[in-house]
Chains A and B, each alone.
Chain A
């Protein structure tokens, strides 16, 4: 034994204490069974279709669904932001979020408006304007005459 080994003899004997640290009784009796079980489970997972494997990964590792949901939210936010900032859509009032713009756009560009009514178009007098007798509508008096 070298001099160094002799110097550390007491330490080595102390380290021998580590050999007496044992796992719970019976631990090694079914250790190999657990290993083989894990191997079989891993092989079974590998034979599954990719979608089921993904779902299995979601179940076993909680970080995966969190990451997936975060990615989905980010994608959604990115989509919303890019739609709002898109120059084509912003310049087109039909897609504007302001109801005034949309209305005026419909009035200016009838070609863009979608006509969903089957009724014939009528002229609607604006409130406050003079009654137009030549229009298709007539004023009706609903007040009773006392008879």
Chain B
């Protein structure tokens, strides 16, 4: 299993552009009821879809259900996929809409069941430097930091959280986010700026501006 769930956008973009025809063939086969082809599509995007939903909900069980439901819904709606955007943008949109609807319903029961951090995190030089050198509260453990980070993210509105998750965690480009969120790039930038400001204020004890 991969240690890092989401890689930067460059990888996604290249994925999308390198084999679009192959992907469309799979989509076409799946559209005709070939589950093996759809299985291949699920395998391609399962980690990214799961990660996006997980970072939005901060809950593994919810992310698991929503990710599966998103793929099922996408399969059932394949006939409506016209190919105007790439399959994964379309898939992201389904997952994001499902997650936002879920979060609206869950508004009043914000509890978290955080997953454990993987062991590689301790070898991430950026994070080690951040914790040991730049963080005012040097005694803060990674778990505590993770908890505070998730709590701060959950305080953002869904649209602002989504912008941060897709850009700063998932590494998608502004253009991709604009397509997924059905808005223009300027809106994405402003949401991102506002969300970061909010997070900076909420995590002031842990983040010292450079």
A→B interface (CB under 8 Å): 4, 6-29, 31-36, 38-40, 42
Q: Contacts A19-B5, A22-B118; is A10 near B208 (CB within 8 Å)?
A: yes
| Distance A29 CA – B71 CA, assembled complex (angstroms) | 16
A6 contacts across to B, CB distance below 8 A:
210
| Distance A18 CA – B60 CA, assembled complex (angstroms) | 13
- Contact A39–B200 (Cβ < 8 Å): no
Chain A residues touching B, majority SS: helix
- Contact B38–A39 (Cβ < 8 Å): yes
| Distance A17 CA – B210 CA, assembled complex (angstroms) | 18
- Contact A16–B1 (Cβ < 8 Å): no
Question: Can you report 14 A-B residue pairs in the complex whose CB atoms are below 8 A from each other?
Answer: A7-B210, A14-B207, A15-B169, A16-B169, A17-B145, A19-B51, A20-B121, A20-B127, A21-B115, A22-B5, A22-B115, A22-B116, A29-B1, A35-B68
Most buried by B among A12, A17, A40: A17
B183 contacts across to A, CB distance below 8 A:
none
Taking a contact as CB atoms closer than 8 A, the residue among A7, A31, A40 that contacts B42 in the complex is: A31
A21 contacts across to B, CB distance below 8 A:
5, 54-55, 114-115, 117-118, 146
- Contact A32–B43 (Cβ < 8 Å): yes
CB distance from B95 to the nearest CB of A (A): 12
| Distance A31 CA – B72 CA, assembled complex (angstroms) | 12
The yes or no answer to B75 lying at the interface (CB within 8 A) is: yes
- Contact B120–A15 (Cβ < 8 Å): no
